Amino acid sequence: MNKLLGLFAVIGAMLAAGAASAADKVVFGTNWLAQGGHGGFYQAVADGTYEKYGLDVEIRMGGPQVNTRPMLAAGRLDFLMGGNLLLAFDNVRNNIPTTVIAAIFQKDPQAMMAHKGRYKDFAALTGAPEILISKDGQFSLWKWMVESHGFRDEQLRPYGYNMAQFLTNPAAVQQAYGTAEPLYAAAEGVETDVFLLADHGWSTYGSIIETRNDLLESNPDLVQRFIDASIEGWNNFLYGDRTAAYQAIIAANPEMTVEKLDAEMQQFEKLAIIDTGDTTEKGIGAMDEARVKAFHDLAVEAKIIDAGSVDLSKVADYRFVNQGKGLDIKSRLTGQ
């Protein structure tokens, strides 16, 4: 009997080891150091959601010395958190074999930031004496602002991610990430008004999720499981207990604190960036093909990209989202 029990124990251990090893290893790259805007992914690691979907997910941070973007096409990453759709358009134009599969942010957090009460609305910013815009912004969103909203190149000043010029000049306006620079300014004692570009026609998605085309073709089931688990993670993070995710974020990026993360997430909610619009019926991560085309057309009209340079059929694959995933979790956690 003892021998039989021992055999059962060995078999059980072997089965358990087999189950553990059956999890698919996935490497996911973020676009910057760990922060609240990455919270749903850290949540899905910390609370076992990825594990539930048979995934062993490693989150690899981006940052000032790390460029995760080329790692995706090179096969060092399986999934990548990108920025907005302009990057995806560039990938298609340059024949880089990657595809967008979800959009975590329904609004791009890019914004213009002004000293509190200085300008009554977004249109009034066209009268600002100087507007600080990053180099990348000058070749993208600034062109649209000039073309569509009457801003003038005479207002343009370079923004090198040092806020001193803005902080010391009450008339200045600067480009800002809506959930970051306004908080930094507040920490320096400067209250601001934030004008989210998305609320004025800049219709791109933000925090897009991309994967390699070869993975789409060879293992769509793994792609679906990663997206489903990530969406669950985001619903649990936004509406449930964030403690474990916060701990994981702070462990990865010790510059973060609970207070900083809370302030960041309050800003996400205030600006209605993540769970808004189509997500209320289709779930977080939702994408609309017509909206992608509309932003493409906006970019062409603003002379950000050339007409005919992007094959829109290669930009995104919509089959992994728009399924209402996570709405049950949200309903349970919010009671709505």
Separation of alpha carbons 145 and 230, rounded Å: 33
User: Distance between CA atoms of 114 and 176, rounded to whole angstroms?
Assistant: 10
Q: CA triplet 69, 52, 37: central angle to 5 degrees?
A: 40
The closest alpha carbon to 186, from 206, 166, 172, belongs to 166
Cα–Cα nearest to 109, from 151, 141, 87: 141
pLDDT tens, residue by residue, 40-67: 999 999 999 999 999 999 999 998 888 8
Where b means 16+ CB within 10 Å and e means fewer, 186-212 reads: eeeebebbbbbbbebebbbbbbbbbbb
For the residues 32-45, what does the mean pLDDT come to? 97
| Domain ranges, ordered by start, for the chain | 19-106+205-334, 110-200
Q: How far apart are CA 153 and CA 130, in angstroms?
A: 10
Residue 7 has what pLDDT? 45
Work out the average pLDDT over 248-266: 97
Instruction: Give the three-class secondary structure for 216.
Output: helix
Same-fold call for 19-106+205-334 versus 110-200? yes
Mean pLDDT of 275-286: 97
**pLDDT of res. 21:** 54
| Strand bridging mode 110-115 / 192-196 | antiparallel
From CA 114, how far away is CA 135, in angstroms rounded?
19
The contacts of residue 70 (CB under 8 Å, 6+ apart) are none
Q: What is the pLDDT of residue 67?
A: 85
Any idea which of 57-66, 128-137, 304-313 has the lowest mean pLDDT?
Answer: 57-66
Question: Is residue 175 a contact partner of residue 110, using CB atoms and an 8 Å limit?
Answer: yes
pLDDT of residue 1: 47
Give the pLDDT score at 11. 46
Q: Give the tens place of pLDDT for each residue, 169-225.
A: 999 999 999 999 999 999 999 999 999 999 999 999 999 999 999 999 999 999 999
Q: What confidence category does residue 2 fall into, taking pLDDT thresholds of 50, 70 and 90?
A: very low
For the residues of 47-95, what is the DSSP string, one character each? Answer: TTHHHHTTEEEEEE--BTTB--HHHHHTTS-SEEE--SHHHHHHHHHTT
Q: Which two tokens stand for residue 291?
A: 């909206």
Sign of CA dihedral 84, 245, 182, 239: positive
Residue 5 in this model has a pLDDT that exceeds 70:
no
Residue 13 has pLDDT above 90, yes or no: no
| CATH superfamily of the 19-106+205-334 domain | Periplasmic binding protein-like II (3.40.190.10)
Domain 110-200: CATH superfamily is: Periplasmic binding protein-like II (3.40.190.10)
